[in-house]
Homo-oligomer: A and B are copies of this chain.
């Protein structure tokens, strides 16, 4: 955590995540964020630190509605601005006069709508700048911090379960949708930021902040275009020395770039340049949203592998072959097992089983001994376990009193066998089996549903570790493996 400390950015952005109190400029009785956000903040324990502003006065949900920002009591250091775009510059001036130096502007109608919006955004930028106000947005939904349940957009309750993954998104809707859905994929977050039009705070400052955030182990970012390409490269180089940054970038094609221009007002530039920036800076680029999420799950839970040698244990040879193809194509190797491991498996295997890598145990029931041998084999740096079971077999095992845990093993014991080796599971088929498996293995080993994506995520984990190793000073290489 020592390299490239940027204490200014960290201190400066802190009130966005850990404010003393929050002023909602544009709280209102009609439907919309201004109506639901005060309620949601109270539900999450912020009721005594929320201040509402609306010129109409009166009250809302039992909170007083302050007619002017100047009327808000001293204390709050963060404002959430939800008023219509044309009155945003005036709101910023009043926030400045009140001494509030951090504002999240959620209102849309700025640079993303064309010339008129651009002028308004410039006017707002000048107002903020005059008072030294740091701004996230406009055209965003702000932030979430699961450590203190601060949020400037209402999300599902499950999104507040803390986890090691920080999310940076440009667009508000997209960030919101991600937060609403990630828990279904067992992906839990530390902080999330949606940047919108990036009038002031950009992805680089947020990357620096998250770099130094003790709750964040992995950063996943959706980017439409960089605010400053060179700065992004330098920032990523700094951050990825300590924490992996997984990037999904749109605008690979001309039409895709046009789509983003009219969306968060950003120009997304030539894709080749971004490709080079990510490659050279040690960031990991995902090819699709599903892949981004699968990678985040693997990076969030697994150690960096000591090498690129993958072992695959499977109960379906076909799924094993699909994973093998992808593993080889993405730079992993599938070495032969040690003779001792082969012997161990042969001792319990039926005659028809080929003891090799990938190791297809078929319906033998010998999944656990095979996985144990693979995890203990010195030729193997990481293990992908494709654990599937036909419904009929599953039902029969249950009837015979054999649980998925008996068959597969329990995560803590498996982890203990080889704590330094990444272990990823993949399963599909009968829902009853898959949920029993999920429960048996627990939260420390991800259960993905795509054999190809699982292999790809392990390859990314290896590439990240190897690149980080190359960049570490020679003396510090020993302890550089553990992300968590």
**A40-B392, A250-B325, A391-B154 known; A259-B317 Cβ under 8 A:** yes
Q: Which residues of B contact A267 (CB under 8 A)?
A: none
A255: CB under 8 A from chain B? yes
* A474 to B: closest C-beta gap in Å: 34
Do residues B450 and A321 form an inter-chain contact, with CB atoms below 8 A? Answer: no
**A180-B390, A400-B31 known; A322-B250 Cβ under 8 A:** yes
A253: CB under 8 A from chain B? yes
**Which residues in window 315-347 of A have CB below 8 A to B?**
315-322, 324-329, 334
Do residues A108 and B263 form an inter-chain contact, with CB atoms below 8 A? Answer: no
Q: Which residues of B contact A174 (CB under 8 A)?
A: 316-319
Using CB atoms, name the residue of chain B closest to A223.
Answer: B318
Q: Which residues of B contact A32 (CB under 8 A)?
A: 396
Cβ contacts A to B, 21 pairs, < 8 Å: A33-B392, A109-B352, A141-B390, A156-B430, A169-B318, A170-B318, A174-B319, A177-B316, A177-B430, A224-B321, A250-B324, A250-B325, A256-B321, A260-B321, A263-B318, A288-B450, A288-B452, A289-B319, A289-B450, A290-B290, A290-B449
Using CB atoms, name the residue of chain B closest to A390.
Answer: B176
Do residues B318 and A173 form an inter-chain contact, with CB atoms below 8 A? Answer: yes
0/1 interface trace, chain A 246-259, chain B, CB 8 Å (1 if under): 00101111111011
Do residues B321 and A289 form an inter-chain contact, with CB atoms below 8 A? Answer: no
Do residues B251 and A391 form an inter-chain contact, with CB atoms below 8 A? Answer: no
Determine the distance from Cα of A108 to Cα of B350 in the docked complex, in whole angstroms.
Answer: 11
Q: Which residues of B contact A389 (CB under 8 A)?
A: 177
Determine the distance from Cα of A315 to Cα of B263 in the docked complex, in whole angstroms.
Answer: 11
Interface segment out of the listed A67-75, A199-207, A355-363, A457-465? A355-363
Residue in contact with A181 in the complex, picked from B254, B264, B429, CB distance below 8 Å: B429
Determine the distance from Cα of A428 to Cα of B169 in the docked complex, in whole angstroms.
Answer: 16
Do residues B153 and A390 form an inter-chain contact, with CB atoms below 8 A? Answer: yes
Determine the distance from Cα of A391 to Cα of B173 in the docked complex, in whole angstroms.
Answer: 10
* A109 to B: closest C-beta gap in Å: 5
A476: CB under 8 A from chain B? no
Determine the distance from Cα of A334 to Cα of B256 in the docked complex, in whole angstroms.
Answer: 10
Do residues B260 and A177 form an inter-chain contact, with CB atoms below 8 A? Answer: no
Given A177-B430, A248-B322, A259-B324, 19 other A-B residues pairs in contact with their CB atoms under 8 A: A32-B396, A36-B395, A109-B351, A112-B352, A141-B390, A153-B390, A154-B390, A154-B395, A171-B317, A171-B318, A177-B429, A181-B431, A250-B322, A255-B324, A260-B317, A288-B450, A289-B450, A289-B451, A290-B450
Do residues A171 and B259 form an inter-chain contact, with CB atoms below 8 A? Answer: no
* A62 to B: closest C-beta gap in Å: 18
A308: CB under 8 A from chain B? no
Q: Which residues of B contact A252 (CB under 8 A)?
A: 325, 329
**A391-B180, A392-B155 known; A358-B173 Cβ under 8 A:** no
**Which residues in window 38-54 of A have CB below 8 A to B?**
40
Determine the distance from Cα of A31 to Cα of B289 in the docked complex, in whole angstroms.
Answer: 43
A367: CB under 8 A from chain B? no
**Interface residue ranges, A against B (CB under 8 Å):** 31-33, 35-36, 40, 108-109, 112-114, 117, 141, 153-156, 169-171, 173-174, 176-178, 180-181, 184, 222, 224, 248, 250-256, 258-260, 262-264, 287-290, 315-322, 324-329, 334, 351-352, 354, 356, 358, 360, 362-363, 388-392, 395-396, 400, 428-431, 433, 449-453
Do residues B358 and A259 form an inter-chain contact, with CB atoms below 8 A? Answer: yes
Do residues B250 and A318 form an inter-chain contact, with CB atoms below 8 A? Answer: yes
Using CB atoms, name the residue of chain B closest to A222.
Answer: B318
Determine the distance from Cα of A318 to Cα of B171 in the docked complex, in whole angstroms.
Answer: 7
Do residues A263 and B36 form an inter-chain contact, with CB atoms below 8 A? Answer: no
Using CB atoms, name the residue of chain B closest to A40.
Answer: B392
Do residues B360 and A262 form an inter-chain contact, with CB atoms below 8 A? Answer: yes
Do residues B390 and A177 form an inter-chain contact, with CB atoms below 8 A? Answer: yes
Residue in contact with A392 in the complex, picked from B108, B154, B170, CB distance below 8 Å: B154
Q: Which residues of B contact A288 (CB under 8 A)?
A: 322, 326, 450, 452-453
* A50 to B: closest C-beta gap in Å: 16
Closest 9 CB pairs of A and B: A263-B317, A154-B392, A174-B318, A256-B325, A177-B429, A250-B321, A253-B328, A176-B390, A262-B354
* A454 to B: closest C-beta gap in Å: 11
**A289-B451, A430-B156 known; A108-B352 Cβ under 8 A:** yes
Determine the distance from Cα of A32 to Cα of B390 in the docked complex, in whole angstroms.
Answer: 12
Using CB atoms, name the residue of chain B closest to A360.
Answer: B263
